[in-house]
Amino acid sequence: MHDAQNPRELALLVLDEIYERGAYANLALNKALRGNGLSSLDRKLCTELVYGTVKTTGTLDWYLCRVINRPFRKMAPRLRTILRMGAYQILYLERIPDSAAVNECANLARYYVNENSVKLVNGVLRQLSRTKATWQFPQKEEDATLRLALTYYHPEWLVRRWKFRFGLPEAEAMCAYDNAVPSLCLRVNTLFISRKTLLERLQADGCEVEPSKWSPDGIVCRHLPSLETLMKEWGRFLYIQDESSMLDADVLAPKPGDLVLDFCAAPGGKTTHLAQKMENKGKIIAMDIHDHRLTLIEENATRLGITNIRALLHDGTKPLPGFENRADAVLVDAPCSGLGVLNRRAEARWTKKERTLSQFPPLQKKILAQAAACVKHGGRLLYSTCTLERDENSRVRTAFLESHPEFRSKAFLHPVTGERVEELQILPWRDGIDGFYLALFEKVE
């Protein structure tokens, strides 16, 4: 991939990794750009082509199906990718002449598909260029869901779900949130520096930063130097983490000397935040089902100067011998559908399928049940997800309380309003941060 000669060629190879091999867009792109000799401008174009094409995939396919006289889905995967990348430039990149987009895509087809495909690419993209202004998304009232899906680049099934749950204006607002550039947020490593001091030092370095209103340890960044520069100078004093994810440690609020269990810990963002709350005293058992992800926990703890974390390979759906009724505080940040954080991963809106959503609640309930067995009398159990789905959130909470009479719901303070709540659903279009859910329990018997 490093041998790609121009930004479009490199973008095509990255898109292949995403579409055909299920790679994460940010990881695949960063890997491709690392060590590649492209200029700064070419790197920017490559990045725009990858993220833009992936984000608008469904809408690009809608346009292409109107100018192709054969089933688009049955075309060779790489040919589809070339057409999508060309369509993205024609429809959304005004600074690039349509003729240039067509010619470059034809060259890619010649090299990466076959000579016969060149005529097809030329014909389809030129037809799209000529007719793009004439195509209108469906305007009938009964087509409102499809119109939103095409306008905001989301799968129709997901827009339909949000419309049913929240209403059409809210569904539109959620889609708009997903398309906005996500804020970069930092969590201050309070073991070594205060938020006030780090804010002052970052501002003195020319960074535009402000304190988070959601977490006392958070900083919201409006303008920064490169992440590489930031981490090189301030790496030990911060962890890159969105505001929603900081809420777990604030709500669970472990104390110095506690025994804390984190059942789904990797890569360690919430685990290390818990350690900060504990002033690096006591013990945290940080578990994950994948051995290679435990390394991420250990690396993050080491970078942040944290010594009270023990990484443990463990399947959270199984009993944890030796910890029954012992833990002061337990965190289950459960595997979930992730529908509250689609703005963080360009490809996620297209890789998730409605039929797979039902797999999460049974898994979440199993992990919660095993975690509950480890909580001591008077101890706390926090359940969280990064989704908006009631089946994974409030209904899991209700089912847990019904099946575990030894627990009761424990109220906590809303991080912004200060009101006492027993569960908290963060809605991105209303709250301005990623979708998240928290429910706190206390063991009373």
The CA distance from 163 to 173, in Å, is 11
Tokens 């369509």, residue? 87
Tell me the β-bridge partners of 185: 220
Main-chain phi, psi angles of 28, to 5 degrees: -65, -40
The CA distance from 285 to 71, in Å, is 52
Largest alpha-carbon pair distance within the chain? 74
Contact 282, 309 (CB under 8 A): no
Task: Give, to the nearest 10 degrees, the angle between helix 195-204 and helix 227-234.
Answer: 130
Residue type, 263: F
Contact 111, 75 (CB under 8 A): no
SS3 337: coil
Of 111, 304, 63, 354, give the one whose Cα is nearest residue 192.
Answer: 304
- Edge-to-edge order in the sheet of strand 218-223: 208-211, 218-223, 184-188, 238-240
Copy the structure tokens of residue 215: 């977490």
Tokens 């006591």, residue? 282
Residue type, 84: R
Question: Is 105 a known active-site residue?
Answer: no
> Which pairing describes strands 407-409 and 436-443: parallel, antiparallel, or unpaired?
antiparallel
Of 178, 222, 149, give the one whose Cα is nearest residue 341.
Answer: 178
SS3 406: coil
Residue type, 155: P
SS3 32: helix
The CA distance from 178 to 171, in Å, is 11
The CA distance from 84 to 59, in Å, is 10
Catalytic residue among 46, 105, 185, 386: 386
Known catalytic residues?
386
